[in-house]
Amino acid sequence: MKNSSYKLLFICFGLLLLTCKQNQPEDSKGNDPASTISTTYKAPIFNTDDRLAKVAQLGPELEQLMVAHAKAKNIPGIAYGVVVDNELVLSGATGTINLEVETAATPQSVFRIASMTKSFTAMAILKLRDEGKLSLSDPVSKYIPEMAKVTYLTADSPTINIENLLTMTAGFPEDNPWGDRQLHEPDEMLIDLIDQGVSFSNAPSYAFEYSNTGYALLGNVVSRVSGMPYQQYIKMTILQPLGMEHTYWEFENVPKEQLAIGYRWEDEQWKLEPMLHDGAYGAMGGLITSIADFSKYVGFQLSAWPPRSEIDNGPVKRSSLREMQTPKFQRLNAKAKDYNGDLCAAISGYGYGLGITKYCNGFKRISHGGALPGFGSNYIFYPEYGVGIMAFGNLTYTGPLPSTAIEKLLFGTVQLPTRQLPVSDILLVRQEQVLKMLQTWDTDMEKEIVAENLYMDESRERRMTHVQEVFEKAGEIIKVDTIVPWNQLRGRFKIQAAQGKIDVYFTLTPEKIPKVQDLYVSFKPKESS
């Protein structure tokens, strides 16, 4: 009888474990303890890293830019900063944060940053996802039952899930500036809005449309899943771990000498805007912070790059930060211009609380702005450079950051470097072997490095003939350049020869011992003088 009881207990316990495992969110991003990590991978690095010195020397020029920008846009006060990696290298301010008492703006002045709050909300959702407490594919109605009552536009509309809210593809209408005025409303207002029926401008998952309401709902999800108010969860799990001790939700809690007062420019004068209290819509735009504090957050976002094997201290995993910074609904702007004003098509999209743009020349910027009555803010960071810029202003719906001019300074005038990918060990080995094969066509070498498809795609005889013709045209070999890697298993190198350059490109297979699956050889003769 005793043994039977133990058997029954073990069976029940096993079933319980199985049930718990089955109920785990499918996209939980926990690390597999059984996985192994490469010991040979080399992360991208700055070959020559003088970024801090180069940025620091721009202080006077940046100050002139900001003063001129504030004057041109009638902004009472602007605070600004430049981050390199995790360090606030440059910071400054111009103008005043309180016209009545003429308080000068400083990097410690505290501004409402409005929609720049959205990435904090997205970060909280991913943190809960990584902890296995929700899935991005979960219907929002799982956490907010009133969402089950919404009337969709079409019969084939997919159910709104959490990722729809993150990417602003739920089908809600763009709600600026209406949403801005809802900041102080209680949770009951938000839930009543959904319960009474919300209007749609699109079917879900069909199009991107900016939605403050969607992010307010995400804040409500954070509260319900975490078991604490959204604002408290952000403070405990993100702000405090990052050392952001001077970031607030309620303006009444900010020391008066630090609080930026908001204004609008109307009838050729500044007029006071009412300060908004925090509430249910705080998740879309409620944070109040300083350049000194926010620089820590920008540094944390930059720390996501490059992927590497260093200890991941959080508060959110680096891989989740990179996920935030990946566009999910991309659009082409064929007439975009780069910071030089040159026509350069760009692909733009919204990730999770962040906008991402990549230009035809490879230049990539990740950004978000914020605008509420009395305030405007912007920040941009450039992952390949490890640099971020930011500015806060106290004028309604202003853009306080002259980003194009600053980009010209950073990437044109001082020409900041980007990270470069070191050559992997296997590419170096294969480069030497490919070169020997091209010169000798040694059959033993071919057996070692040639993948089974290579001569099926183009016969060995045709390849040999082509390569021999190239080497004959090129003449005497003078120098073989180091291979330029595209990734761990693909790259190209040049052979400098008497009559020109030989270009060799190859890519390797996904096998444990990678072999050459693709190989191209071309020749560019010297230009006649």
Confidence at residue 173, expressed as pLDDT on a 0 to 100 scale: 97
The mean per-residue pLDDT over the stretch 354-377 comes to: 97
Asked if the structure places residue 5 within a domain, the reply is: no
Question: φ and ψ at 83, to 5 degrees?
Answer: -110, 135
d(CA 260, CA 290): 10
Average pLDDT over residues 279-305: 98
Specify whether 93 is located in the same domain as 142. Answer: yes
The pLDDT-based confidence of 329 (bands split at 50, 70, 90) is confident
Instruction: Verify that 433 and 409 share a domain, yes or no.
Output: no
Do residues 199 and 172 share a domain?
yes
Q: Are residues 83 and 176 in the same domain?
A: yes
Same domain assignment for residues 154 and 234: yes
Cα radius of gyration (the chain):
28
Smallest Cα–Cα separation from 93: which of 83, 105, 111, 81?
105
pLDDT of residue 31: 58
Q: pLDDT-derived band of residue 17, with 50, 70 and 90 as boundaries? A: very low
Q: How confident is the model at residue 26, as a pLDDT?
A: 53
Question: Would you say residue 387 has pLDDT above 80?
Answer: yes
Q: What is the pLDDT confidence band of residue 221, given thresholds at 50, 70 and 90?
A: very high
Instruction: Identify the band that residue 271 occupies on the pLDDT scale cut at 50, 70 and 90.
Output: very high
- State the chain's mean pLDDT as an integer: 94
Q: Are residues 490 and 396 in the same domain?
A: no
Same-domain pairing of 87 and 62: yes
pLDDT tens readout for residues 490-501: 999 999 999 999
Amino acid at 239: L
Residue 236 counted as domain residue:
yes
Domain membership of residue 23 (yes or no) is no
Q: What is the pLDDT of residue 33?
A: 63
Residue 9 belongs to a domain: no
Encoding tokens for residue 192? Answer: 């009543």
Per the structure, the complete domain to which residue 306 belongs is given by 43-420
Q: 418-441 pLDDT, tens per residue?
A: 999 999 999 999 999 999 999 999
Same domain, residue pair 433 and 369: no
pLDDT in tens, 207-216: 999 999 999 9
Which CATH number belongs to the domain containing residue 510 in this structure?
3.10.450
pLDDT bracket for residue 529 (50, 70, 90) = low
CATH of the domain at 183: 3.40.710.10
Once rounded to an integer, what is the mean pLDDT over residues 457-466? 98
- Note the pLDDT tens digit of each residue in 310-326: 999 999 999 999 999 99
Record the pTM.
0.92
Q: 10 Å Cβ neighbour count for 54?
A: 19
Boundary residue ending a domain (420, 441, 456)? 420
Indicate whether 474 and 375 sit together in one domain: no
Tell me the mean pLDDT in the region 34-51.
92
Residue 6 has pLDDT above 50, yes or no: no
Number of domains, the chain: 2
Task: State the Cα–Cα distance between residues 75 and 58, nearest whole angstrom.
Answer: 22
The whole-number average pLDDT for the span 380-389 is 98
Residue 220 in any domain: the answer is yes
- 433 lies in the same domain as 331: no
At 30 the pLDDT is 52
- With CA atoms as reference, report the closest residue to 325 among 368, 304, 354, 287: 354
- Which residues, in sequence order, are bridge partners of residue 358? 347, 364
